């Protein structure tokens, strides 16, 4: 890989890790700021129980923005979610100035409401396991998300979440 390519790989990794920080801290606008205006987001899973690939959520950039704006109008479990992510692979298309990346992640939940707050608050537990399958474009010296499929291996979601992964 050229020095140039290495650079772009680093840009992609930086973007993914920065996205993790933004999502961990619920800086929704900052995260959307990392995304193209035609960004497509989805949460998918395969269910061996019913033998189907499923989509649990699918929103474009505009719908995501609306989704985030509604959060204050919802009753939501207050337990913060945090990602531990490792970028496994980045492939850069030099000509098209695009890249694809696969990132493995675990999401932990810091129990706040928990099930019974006086008992559970302060505990962390594993909430979700999955991979980010990202598509990005590289412009003006940084990588911008054009598509993210959050493919999870968790189908027991218990209370669920209003916060996207």
Instruction: Name the residues that contact other proteins, by CB under 8 A.
Output: 43, 45, 47-52, 54-58, 63, 66-67, 69-70, 73-77, 113, 115-116, 155-162, 164
CB neighbours of residue 9 within 10 Å: 19
Query: Containing H/E element for 56?
Result: strand 52-60
- Determine the 3-state secondary structure of 50 from DSSP: coil
* 49 neighbors 155 (Cβ within 8 angstroms): yes
Nearer to other proteins, 78 or 84 (CB): 78
Nearer to other proteins, 21 or 117 (CB): 117
Nearer to other proteins, 125 or 155 (CB): 155
Please report how close the Cβ of residue 134 comes to other proteins at its closest, in angstroms: 19
Nearer to other proteins, 64 or 87 (CB): 64
- Determine the 3-state secondary structure of 154 from DSSP: coil
Nearer to other proteins, 52 or 125 (CB): 52
Between CA 111 and CA 119 the distance in angstroms is 10
Please report how close the Cβ of residue 30 comes to other proteins at its closest, in angstroms: 20
Please report how close the Cβ of residue 121 comes to other proteins at its closest, in angstroms: 12
Please report how close the Cβ of residue 16 comes to other proteins at its closest, in angstroms: 21
* 42 neighbors 77 (Cβ within 8 angstroms): no
The 3-class SS string of 6-45 reads: HHHHHHHHHHHHHHHHHHHCCCHHHHHHCEEEEEEEEEEE
Please report how close the Cβ of residue 123 comes to other proteins at its closest, in angstroms: 14
Per-residue DSSP letter, 73:
G
């Amino acid at each position: 890989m050229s020095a140039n390519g290495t650079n772009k790989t680093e840009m992609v990794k930086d973007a993914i890790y920065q996205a993790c920080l933004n999502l961990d801290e619920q800086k929704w606008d900052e995260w959307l700021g990392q995304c193209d205006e035609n960004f497509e987001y989805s949460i998918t899973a395969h269910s061996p129980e019913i033998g189907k690939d499923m989509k649990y959520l699918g929103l474009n950039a505009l719908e995501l923005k609306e989704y985030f704006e509604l959060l204050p109008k919802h009753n939501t479990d207050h337990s913060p979610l945090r990602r531990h992510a490792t970028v496994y692979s980045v492939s850069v298309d030099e000509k098209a100035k695009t890249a694809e990346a696969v990132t493995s992640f675990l999401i932990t939940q810091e129990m706040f409401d928990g099930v019974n707050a006086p008992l559970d608050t302060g505990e962390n537990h594993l909430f979700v396991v999955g991979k980010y399958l990202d598509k990005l474009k590289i412009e003006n010296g940084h990588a911008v998300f054009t598509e993210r499929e959050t493919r999870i291996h968790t189908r027991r979601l218990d209370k669920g979440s209003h916060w996207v992964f």
